[in-house]
Structure 1
Amino acid sequence: MEMFEKAVSILAFLSIGFSLTEAYLKANQIWKRKHERLVVESISVTAQLVSLFPLSIFSLNYLFQRQYVGLMDSTIFATLAVFNIIVGMSFWVPGERKKGFWTLIKETLNLERKEAGDLAKSFFKPSGAQKIINILGQVAMIDEVLDPREKQFIQSFADHWNINFSWDNLTKNRIADTAINLIHLRQDVTDYLAISPPQKQVSELKDIINALINIDEEVSEQEKLIMGELDGLLSGYISQQPNAARYHVIVVPQNERQVQVVTTSLPELIRYEIGEGFAYHSSPFYSKEYANVISDGYRSLNLLSIVTFTLPSQINSIVSEDESPN
């Protein structure tokens, strides 16, 4: 047993070399970049001060108890903490040293105080928070009327998540075409779901959208329309069931100019081959009313467009369906 204790004692003494090597490598990486602002701001002086206190206490305790291995180990890392503090207070950043030691310490601690909640906020900010705010903004504007209560409701989320949201950009970038705005909104929701947010978060978003639509105590036709589609989209993601969307919008260009219109202006449409040529189809929609509005938007561009349950395999069937009464 005595031999074992002696062996451990020797190994503990030798381990000081590892501690010294670790401290040197850490300091060496910082030393070469000690004058760079980004490196300086990446060091938390507060954290180093916090670590320095127990290290100092341990060092004194080891000294009084004559445990010199522990004393050397604590002293090494206490010295490293002091070095990090000096670097973190911008001592070697050009033009900063002349401010004086205490001024540098004060400025550094003030900066850290302002940023202290950033990590905590990131834990409580949902994934895709910026996308969520953009979606809510578009929902509020879907009827082209922004009620003050809608604005306040959305702004409360933006403030809570520390997101800079420009209402001017939202209104400025909108298009007069309702169908295009509906497409953009649905696509943004699809993009949000593509980042695989937690199902609970998506369920909460669904409730938030419902609350937003009803907040002004008046549900417009446009809001009913988009909610019917988004409800299916979000519910499908939450349930993880096979896609229940079944309404396709089919577009058949009649000439080369219309082909150019589709390929350059309607990227959401997917080309597919049919018997006598080709046509374009949308992703399937949950709401027939929504699909009809999208189809009407394409018709406004003088494109042949219909809403169907399945993708037609013959162009003639598309034409005949388009000519039949609704």
Structure 2
Amino acid sequence: MELFQKVISILAFLSIGFSLTEAYFKVNQIWKRKHERLVVESISVTAQLVSLFTLSIFSLNYLFQRQYVGFIDTTIFATLAVFNIIVGMSFWVPGERKKGFWTLIKETLNFERKEAGDLAKSFLKPSGAKKIINILSQVAMIDEVIDPREKQFIQSFADHWGINFSWDDLTTNRITNTSVNLIKLRQDVTDYLATSPPQKQVSELKDIINALVNIDEEVSEQERLIMGELDGLLPEYISQESNAARYHVIVVPQNERQVQVVTTSLPELTRYKVAEGFAYHTDLFYSKEYADIISDGYRSLNLFTIVTLTLPSQINSIVSDDSSIMLNGI
């Protein structure tokens, strides 16, 4: 095992060369065309800024943990993101540099925000158009605040597809319960995927939801939670490959009254047998934070819940082992 670890360490170090090669070819492909407007507009500065932020966090984490191979690798791609940002902000386009760095950044981000609505024109009306409008409206309302820009963005899809959509009905019939709304939104996305839409369409929907969440220039805690979940659910459908980390919320009724609450009020839960009798579980979740919120929602009904990576068959033994899972009690 020690020899195997040494071999992996050597290969990991050598992989830095492959990362440098990859970065070089990407830069080389753009370098001769960096002054062309079409090339510049094909680069999303917003996406590169998000990538730079993430890579910077990972680089610092690797540095603090003295994992220098990971630090060097992420630094290479963080540098590549910086290069793409400079190209994407028209720095090398003739006549643009004189505007100044911050002016170019502001103009580029404004251009991308305006262009986000153009997705509606290229995204042909799908068979599940009403479901998509419903999903988008729930995403916009997940933080209980509807920004005019979010409203206009969704309305552009409804108008383009010829769908009558009432914002009054959405706000009037809405329940102000974060857990309930998160569950409903995820279930509606699952129902939409159950209609087997084309993978390209789902990929476009993912981009549209990302654009919607960022259109008001502020990502709320609720939006961050649901995006953490959808960023597992949608890519899995697109790639047709299972994501590794998925979480269950297990509900363990403590008496007959709680069994009645589960069977009558929580139809999304599935009953299954355990050694002590039976318990209930949710569908699989991709984000632990999302699973924790759902667990808290059930706990508010005085139900005992467990968040776990596996579907336990021995409830008592797992409850006693709090080193492997997180417990939420009454």
TM-score range, shorter chain: 0.5 to 0.7
CA distance in 1, matches of 2:326, 2:141: 33
Partner of 1:158: 158
Root mean square deviation of aligned Cα: 2.0
Partner of 1:181: 181
Partner of 1:232: 232
Q: Tell me the CA shift for residue 260 of structure 1.
A: 0.8
TM-score, length of structure 2 as denominator length: 0.60
Partner of 1:256: 256
Partner of 2:277: 277
Preserved contact between residue 306 and residue 322 of structure 1 (Cα < 8 Å): no
Preserved contact between residue 312 and residue 318 of structure 1 (Cα < 8 Å): yes
Q: Deviations over 1:170-225 (max 9, x none)?
A: 11121121101000000000000010011000000000000000000000011000
Matched, 1:299 2:299: yes
Partner of 1:194: 194
Ranges in structure 2 where 5+ consecutive residues have no aligned partner? 1-120
Letter in 1 for 2:131: K
Bigger Rg, structure 1 or 2: 1
CA distance in 2, matches of 1:178, 1:134: 17
Matched, 1:313 2:313: yes
Preserved contact between residue 307 and residue 326 of structure 2 (Cα < 8 Å): no
CA distance in 2, matches of 1:152, 1:205: 17
Q: Tell me the CA shift for residue 245 of structure 1.
A: 5.1
Partner of 1:99: none
Letter in 2 for 1:316: N
Q: Tell me the CA shift for residue 229 of structure 1.
A: 0.3
May I ask how many residue pairs the two structures share in their alignment? 205
Partner of 2:132: 132
Percent identical among aligned pairs is: 82
Secondary structure in 2 matching 1:302: coil
Partner of 2:214: 214
Ranges in structure 1 where 5+ consecutive residues have no aligned partner? 1-120
Q: Tell me the CA shift for residue 168 of structure 1.
A: 1.0
Partner of 2:171: 171
Q: Tell me the CA shift for residue 243 of structure 1.
A: 5.1
Matched, 1:290 2:290: yes
Secondary structure in 2 matching 1:124: coil
Residues 237 and 212 (structure 1 numbering): CA distance in 2 closer, same or farther, change over 3 Å? same
Letter in 1 for 2:235: S
CA distance in 2, matches of 1:153, 1:321: 48
Q: Deviations over 1:218-240 (max 9, x none)?
A: 00011000001011110000001
CA distance in 1, matches of 2:156, 2:264: 38
Q: Tell me the CA shift for residue 124 of structure 1.
A: 3.5
CA distance in 1, matches of 2:137, 2:326: 37
CA distance in 2, matches of 1:245, 1:139: 23
Preserved contact between residue 236 and residue 243 of structure 2 (Cα < 8 Å): yes
Q: Deviations over 1:235-269 (max 9, x none)?
A: 00000113545200000001111011111111111
Q: Deviations over 1:28-77 (max 9, x none)?
A: xxxxxxxxxxxxxxxxxxxxxxxxxxxxxxxxxxxxxxxxxxxxxxxxxx
